[in-house]
Structure 1
Amino acid sequence: MADLQDELSAPAEAGDLESTRPTAEEDAPSDHARPAPTGPVPADTVNAPTTPAPTPPHALLARHPVADGYCGLPQVLRTLPWYDLELGESAVEADLPRLHAGGTGAQLWAPHVAPDAPITSTLEQIDLITNIVSRHPEDLRLARSASDTADARAHGRIAVLIGPAPASAAADSLGALRSLHALGLRALTLSGTSWASDDGLTRFGEEVVREMNRLGLLVDLTGASAATAARVLAVSKAPVTLTRSGAHALNHHPENAPDELLGALGEHGGLCLVPCSADRTGPALRDVADHIDHVRRLAGPESVGLSGTYDTGDAHPEGLADVAGYPSLIVELQTRGWTDAELALLTWGNVQRVLRSTEFTARAARHRRGPSTATPEP
């Protein structure tokens, strides 16, 4: 948050301070002062608003780009015989020209995991992501930390973080999880396993969370049961995330978060990334804005972010058909009273905070414990 606070709280430049000094006319004796105007004061000058005009969306996103919490681009590219991300690719929703046009500064690229070969398919997806990024060094940069994402932004690149992968990617093996982390995986979704079910976390599931804390992996609760979410919040020392969840109170999609979870997420410093998905939020851009407002109201402005869910097969709201639509969403939020500081947290600052906090937690955890050798209960 330090870089964000420095930008938002920067002192006035020397020229700005100088411009506020009295002019020679203002310093002149009162008997030489110009007479005060007479007559009625124009109505439009009475109680004139002092609130500064909103920053144009492209200018705001140039300083605080979108850190997008979920993109399925690798799996789509894997199915195409040929593609050109640099010049534009009609078969995807997140090519390079549209990523730049929409003000995207970072994306989480989610590996697709085949149920019949979870580890092999995850390794193949990580290999594909690494190769895609390496082929576009002027536009993309692989990131493994908050410092990497900030450095990519400073050099005009889009940071690519690998994840979230479903928990099945590690095949119930903490050794496999450590290997995937070493290859670049940075987020894991805790649902759909025997140790993170409707009944909550098993003892092995709790050990998975502790090992993720030790490694610095983001814990994703998207689709997790209420019992699992509650136990993860109790066990995890790092902030937890919802990488693609809207508000269940506004849309009853099964992966949307209930109000109780959103409130608890805010209390624990977590982050809900609201998706641009017609199924999860609604068919119009304003529906996405409604969910963002709802999450901010319950969890706080430091616990809400954006998740495009592009190239996942989801239909998208009108006005947000691809990643180039983010400026329109910023305009909608500005009309609802969002300040530049709040928008800067929404787009970039909150994701950076969670990444940094997760890394700090990992450094501390490594001093307390070594790699876990736990295995699932029979």
Structure 2
Amino acid sequence: MWPSWWLWSLVSLCTADEFLDQAKRIMKNTPVIDGHNDLPWQLLKRFNNQLQNPKADLNNLADTHTNIPKLRAGYVGGQFWSAYTPCDTQNKDAVKRTMEQIDVIHRMCQKYPETFSCVTSSAGIRQAFLEGKVASLVGVEGGHSIDSSLGVLRALYHLGMRYMTLTHSCNTPWADNWLVDTGEDQAHSQGLSPFGKSVVREMNRLGILIDLAHVSVDTMKTVLKLSQAPVIFSHSSAYAKCRHQRNVPDDVLQMVNQTGSLVMVNFYNDYVSCNKKANLSQVADHLDYIKKVAGAGAVGFGGDFDGVERVPSGLEDVSKYPDLVAELLRRQWKEEEVKGALSENLLRVFEAVEKASNHMQTPEEEPIPLEMLEVSCRTIYGYSSASPSFHQQSGTLLASLSLSLFFLCLL
């Protein structure tokens, strides 16, 4: 007679295989769209964006969460690649660095056309699905990348940017980041400044997804009230399951539900378990919780692969998405709910953002006030005739020069 523990183990294994088979069947027709992957950052750090380097071959790229075989195994059909530049580029070369990261994403599509299709619309994603390619979109991670310029925002849109995270882990002159809620940073905009609100309106007008990962709770709430289209959290989890300020609190999840917005769950251990170790089941707990509070239409995946150093056991790289989907099925998620989390929720939000856009509407034009900027490394063309602060600075400079000349005359 078989030992009972062995029989239960066999039943569990067979059941797991059944759910995994079901997950793969679903994902063949409804592949995952992931909200955030930092492979471009790895290409910069390791190869200075030189894709012709043999070691940078995405078919064989080692020691990363992402390469082409892993994407195929994970049934990844859509990916927002992060055009990320760190906060220390703010007021320096952030725009240049961001454009270089957008460039390397485009060159990925050019170098591997059989795998990647660079797209800029929900229709483009659906077409890539039909062609069996990974729909590749640009997500700019951090509002410092536009250097407080509406013109740069529009230029990045024309280069293919389809979401922008309003802050990274630093304030911009017009929006507060999540470290304000920990006390490590001071609030400067109480969420959004008047210029920050014009950024949101211009993103709505253009049809850019507004990403609230990394922002303060006040910024989340201000944007959710202001935006004329649903927004996303491209890589955030549920605060109730892990009390980390990068996660989304319940009152904001309720606003997500009311606005038809989307939370794409992050796999970083520190945001999953509030610990250095985490597992796949705990990620599923976040997905369960967001579904419970904000609804099944509010759930997505935003793994943060290749942007973090610690990922859960069972979710070691992008090939493991079917295992997470199998876990949701084991937890009795309905097939339509699973399809929503995989890609249909993101497509719905993206289509709503596109529908709300209006390129015939007059663009936002009023620049950020000069006094809100650090001016040591920038010119001030255009402000000289319009900014009171410029005249004040000019008067101060003139007075200083006059005083210096006076003392020189006394010598």
Give your verdict on TM over 0.5: yes
Task: Encode CA deviations 1:194-219: one digit per residue, 9 max, x unaligned.
Answer: 21124111111111000000111110
Counterpart of 1:87 (choices 55, 59, 80) is 59
SS in 2 for 1:196: coil
Counterpart of 1:196 (choices 175, 181, 185) is 175
Q: In structure 1, what is the Cα distance between the partners aligned to 2:173 and 2:282?
A: 35
Q: In structure 1, what is the Cα distance between the partners aligned to 2:264 and 2:344?
A: 12
SS in 1 for 2:155: helix
Counterpart of 1:170 (choices 146, 153, 161) is 146
> Given the superposition, is the C-alpha separation of residues 164 and 295 from structure 1 closer, same or farther in structure 2, using an over 3 Å criterion?
farther
**Shift in Å, 1:339:** 1.1
State the partner residue of 2:297: 302
State the partner residue of 1:141: 117
Greater share of helix: 2
User: Does the 8 Å CA contact 1:67/1:105 hold for their aligned counterparts?
Assistant: yes
1:108 is matched by which residue type in structure 2? F
State the partner residue of 1:280: 271
State the partner residue of 1:209: 200
User: Does the 8 Å CA contact 2:268/2:308 hold for their aligned counterparts?
Assistant: no
Confirm or deny that 1:311 pairs with 2:303: no
**Shift in Å, 1:221:** 0.8
User: Does the 8 Å CA contact 2:37/2:80 hold for their aligned counterparts?
Assistant: yes
State the partner residue of 1:225: 216
Confirm or deny that 1:63 pairs with 2:58: no
**Shift in Å, 1:84:** 4.8
SS in 2 for 1:107: strand
User: Does the 8 Å CA contact 2:262/2:300 hold for their aligned counterparts?
Assistant: yes
Q: In structure 2, what is the Cα distance between the partners aligned to 1:85 and 1:327?
A: 25
Counterpart of 1:99 (choices 71, 85, 89) is 71
1:219 is matched by which residue type in structure 2? I
Counterpart of 1:289 (choices 277, 284, 292) is 284
2:292 is matched by which residue type in structure 1? R
User: Does the 8 Å CA contact 1:164/1:220 hold for their aligned counterparts?
Assistant: no
**Shift in Å, 1:86:** 4.6
SS in 1 for 2:232: strand
User: Does the 8 Å CA contact 1:68/1:108 hold for their aligned counterparts?
Assistant: yes
Q: Which runs of 4+ in 1 moved over 4 A?
A: none
Q: In structure 1, what is the Cα distance between the partners aligned to 2:73 and 2:82?
A: 22
2:217 is matched by which residue type in structure 1? A
Q: In structure 1, what is the Cα distance between the partners aligned to 2:229 and 2:99?
A: 26
**Shift in Å, 1:66:** 0.5
**Shift in Å, 1:165:** 2.4
SS in 2 for 1:163: strand
1:376 is matched by which residue type in structure 2? I
Q: In structure 2, what is the Cα distance between the partners aligned to 1:86 and 1:309?
A: 18
User: Does the 8 Å CA contact 1:85/1:96 hold for their aligned counterparts?
Assistant: no
2:80 is matched by which residue type in structure 1? L
**Shift in Å, 1:164:** 3.3
User: Does the 8 Å CA contact 2:98/2:140 hold for their aligned counterparts?
Assistant: no
State the partner residue of 2:359: 366
Unaligned runs of 5+ in 1: 1-52
1:303 is matched by which residue type in structure 2? A
State the partner residue of 1:348: 343
User: Does the 8 Å CA contact 2:109/2:116 hold for their aligned counterparts?
Assistant: yes
Matches within 5 A, 1:328-339: 328-339=323-334
2:26 is matched by which residue type in structure 1? L
**Shift in Å, 1:85:** 4.3
User: Does the 8 Å CA contact 1:108/1:164 hold for their aligned counterparts?
Assistant: no
Aligned length: 323
Matches within 5 A, 1:25-40: none
SS in 2 for 1:371: coil
Unaligned runs of 5+ in 2: 1-17, 48-52, 177-186, 372-411
User: Does the 8 Å CA contact 2:300/2:346 hold for their aligned counterparts?
Assistant: yes
User: Does the 8 Å CA contact 1:65/1:104 hold for their aligned counterparts?
Assistant: yes
1:234 is matched by which residue type in structure 2? K
Q: Percent identity?
A: 33
SS in 2 for 1:186: strand
Q: In structure 1, what is the Cα distance between the partners aligned to 2:142 and 2:157?
A: 13
1:348 is matched by which residue type in structure 2? S
1:143 is matched by which residue type in structure 2? V
1:335 is matched by which residue type in structure 2? R
Q: In structure 1, what is the Cα distance between the partners aligned to 2:222 and 2:322?
A: 37
SS in 2 for 1:58: helix
Matches within 5 A, 1:112-191: 112-114=84-86, 115=89, 116-191=92-167
**Shift in Å, 1:260:** 0.6
User: Does the 8 Å CA contact 2:43/2:56 hold for their aligned counterparts?
Assistant: no
Q: In structure 1, what is the Cα distance between the partners aligned to 2:59 and 2:111?
A: 13
Q: In structure 2, what is the Cα distance between the partners aligned to 1:85 and 1:310?
A: 18
Q: In structure 2, what is the Cα distance between the partners aligned to 1:355 and 1:232?
A: 17
1:183 is matched by which residue type in structure 2? L
